[in-house]
Amino acid sequence: MGNDLEINFYGNKIKSIQLLRAIAIIFVMIEHVSYWGFGAFGVDIFFVISGFVMMYSTHMEEVTKGYRSGLKTFLPKRLLRIIPLYYVMTVLTYIAIRVFPRFFRGTETDFTQLIKSFLFIPYESAAHTMPIVKVGWCLNYEVLFYLIFFIAILISYKYRGIIAAAALVGMSIAGYLVNTNSIPVRFWLGDVNLDFVYGIFAYYICLTTHKAFLTFKEKKALRVALIIILSAAVCALFALLISGHRIIGDDVTPYRGVSYGIPAFLIFVFVYWIGVLLDIPKFCVWIGDISFSLFLIHYYPVMFFARLGEGVQNSFLRVLLALVGILLAFVLSVPVHYLFDKKISGKIAVFLKKN
């Protein structure tokens, strides 16, 4: 890897990733509108992004302070990025379920489940494997990935991606071969783990092709042609995901790592290339910036207005109610993002740097 390529590849915030986060969270919100419900694959895009970002960010840490120095803050930095808001949402949801149980369809909870939610231990509730904050099932996989990647770095920083990918592939294969009654083990061996592998693979592809696409950017006709072709491919992949959604359902099902994961991987790579060739709109980047807060906040406002829409015959009004729920989720997420992602996470980052 040449020095110029390294400076260009690692030197700037990758705005196309924020665009992908924006797209992913919008599809996740659409998934939770009961009479639409075709965006579960947004989670797979998030997981592919995580695999890429883990490779990218650990290289940056190695360059700036050495990977051994970064080891002591590796897990704290990543866990404390998600824990404050997730724990607050978990406690508030737990209290709300206990006080107003009739407003939470098919949701059961007790103190043991609260502790398991805090510890990212999967458990079954109302025939679904998910924590008190329902969308938090994704974080159970995310935290597991952090742990596996951390162990891979301890074994070999240079081959961290290969080691982590091998472990995740092995776990996914074991999920098909091992018949267990253990809910956590069955969950952790889910083939959705392959999404992180695709993200690691995407890192190597994007790194090796980055310089070529920078060259294409300087040739106007070729750049326009490539943008059109890549955009068409991305649209076709989303159409494939939407049309195939009901085939595999909207839970963590067998073959999800293939049916959703591979298209999500291709979308990631194509959008990354588009981001090299084209400037990403600031508004899309902003949505990507608030996507984590939006992910944890959106479920109940979107579900509330969707349920109001279930009893409405007028199609326009049903769409309007769904959009109101999505808009409200955005409005609520902005101050939450500022408080948790900017203020709290910023103070934590400063504390970790000093210690």
If 0-12 CB within 10 Å is exposed, 13-18 middle and 19+ buried, where does residue 330 land? middle
pLDDT tens column, 207-257 = 999 888 888 888 889 999 999 999 999 999 999 998 876 544 444 455 788
Does the pLDDT value for residue 349 go beyond 70? no
Pick the more confident residue, 268 or 75: 268
Does the pLDDT value for residue 12 go beyond 60? no
Q: How many domains, in total, are found in the chain? A: 1
Output the CA–CA distances (angstroms, integers) from residue 20 to 42, 160, 230, 286, in the order listed: 9, 25, 14, 11
Q: What is the residue range of 150's domain?
A: 3-354
Backbone angles phi, psi at 125, to 5 degrees: -140, 125
Instruction: Quote the pLDDT of residue 344.
Output: 78
Mean per-residue pLDDT of the chain: 88
Closest among 354, 355, 348 to 77, alpha carbons compared: 348
Does the pLDDT value for residue 178 go beyond 70? yes
Instruction: Quote the pLDDT of residue 199.
Output: 98
Instruction: State the pTM of this model.
Output: 0.92
Instruction: Quote the pLDDT of residue 350.
Output: 66
